[in-house]
Amino acid sequence: MESKAKLFGHPIHPMLIVFPLGLLVTSLIFDLIALLTNEASLAVASFYMIGAGVIGGLLAAVFGLIDWLAIPPGTRAKSIGLWHGLGNVLVTGFFILSWFLRRDAPEAPEAPALILSLLGAAHVRSIESEAYDTTKTT
């Protein structure tokens, strides 16, 4: 499948996904380090990384949707693209909720916010491995 949304001949969606992916996963790493070291500034940085990651993810999703709409119906690619997109909506939802729970005290996120980030990061891994598993034929 060839991407319909391109910039200088290169597909836009794959270029954009690295930023939210990196920001969201790194936010979890910063949270874990902040828990171990009691360094509040890392938790605040995580809060801002989540915000930037969610915005970047939503932007990447627009271009992913453009590409997905161009895939012929009834194909394996259309099905994988649907699950990929829906899974990433779930991931984004986890991180949006985590960000929302932190907004009053970003320097001290409570357990539910941290659990939501952990769930989001875990789902990123499962979604990406499923979407790019080229060994499946059905």
Q: How far apart are CA 135 and CA 90, in angstroms?
A: 25
Give 27-77 pLDDT, tens digit per residue: 999 999 999 999 999 999 999 999 999 999 999 999 889 889 989 999 998
Please tell me the predicted confidence (pLDDT) of residue 51.
Answer: 97
84 or 4: which carries more pLDDT confidence? 84
**Using alpha carbons only, how large is the chain's radius of gyration in Å?**
16
Residue 50's domain comprises: 12-131
In a domain, 87, yes or no: yes
In a domain, 4, yes or no: no
133 or 116: which carries more pLDDT confidence? 116
In a domain, 116, yes or no: yes
In a domain, 60, yes or no: yes
User: Hey, is 75 helix, strand or coil?
Assistant: coil
Under the banding of pLDDT at 50, 70 and 90, the label for residue 136 is low
Q: Is the predicted pLDDT of residue 127 greater than 80, yes or no? A: no
Q: How far apart are CA 116 and CA 101, in angstroms?
A: 10
Eight-state DSSP code of residue 74:
T
In a domain, 110, yes or no: yes
Query: CB–CB of 49/24 below 8 Å?
Result: yes
Please tell me the predicted confidence (pLDDT) of residue 40.
Answer: 96
Eight-state DSSP code of residue 110:
-
Please tell me the predicted confidence (pLDDT) of residue 17.
Answer: 86
Please tell me the predicted confidence (pLDDT) of residue 7.
Answer: 65
In a domain, 5, yes or no: no
Give 75-117 pLDDT, tens digit per residue: 998 998 899 899 999 999 999 999 999 999 999 999 999 999 9
Number of domains in the chain: 1
Residue 57 Rama label (left phi>0; alpha psi -120 to 50; beta): alpha
Span 3-20, average pLDDT: 77
Q: How far apart are CA 54 and CA 97, in angstroms?
A: 11
In a domain, 2, yes or no: no
| Torsional sign, CA 98, 99, 102, 103 | negative
